[in-house]
Amino acid sequence: MDALFGRVAEASREPALYLDGGIPDSFEGRFESLTLHMFLVLRRLRELPAPAGDLSQELTDACFAYLELGFRNGGVSDIAVPKRMKKIGQMFYGRIQAYEAAFAAADPEALVETLRRNASSLGASALAAYLREAQTGLALLDLDEILRREPLFPAFANQEAVHDA
């Protein structure tokens, strides 16, 4: 699971997401990007037969261990870490629900609007296209392929880059 999470985290740090996708290069922006990528993998794992469900919990645990380590390495005190983790958990699961609702909506603009609110006010349309492309690719993979495939996500390509807007 650590290797899979590593590939998810690596994809979430792809510079083009920040330079051309408009995700702010900040803790909050990196959290949003990580959450987007986690959402896609968790969504696919939910669609697959057992033991994918158990693995989705392990992947989520690895993600939260990574976030907690980031707080600790960033100098957050041992007393404050649980409060921060509770807040980050609420944000994470809130985003997962919002993205799930946006993907399920009949209106394709629902995803763009959700991304505009959470991840990128400037690059939401390009991010939505990237997420749909990534979802399409993940839908073709079984559990073994998800665990092994590198890269797991397509390259981010923005035809109308934010810095050109």
The ranges assigned to domains in the chain are: 2-152
Residues ≥6 apart with Cβ < 8 Å to 81:
68, 71, 72
Instruction: Report how far residue 102's alpha carbon sits from residue 105's, in angstroms, rounded to the nearest whole number.
Output: 5
Check residue 160 and give its pLDDT.
Answer: 57
Of 111, 107, 105, 110, residue with least CA distance to 36:
111
Instruction: Report how far residue 119's alpha carbon sits from residue 36's, in angstroms, rounded to the nearest whole number.
Output: 9
Of 133, 160, 162, 154, residue with least CA distance to 23:
162
Check residue 60 and give its pLDDT.
Answer: 97
Whether 64 and 89 have beta carbons less than 8 Å apart is answered as yes
Residues of the chain with pLDDT below 50 are: 161-165
Question: Which pTM was predicted?
Answer: 0.92
Instruction: Report how far residue 128's alpha carbon sits from residue 27's, in angstroms, rounded to the nearest whole number.
Output: 21
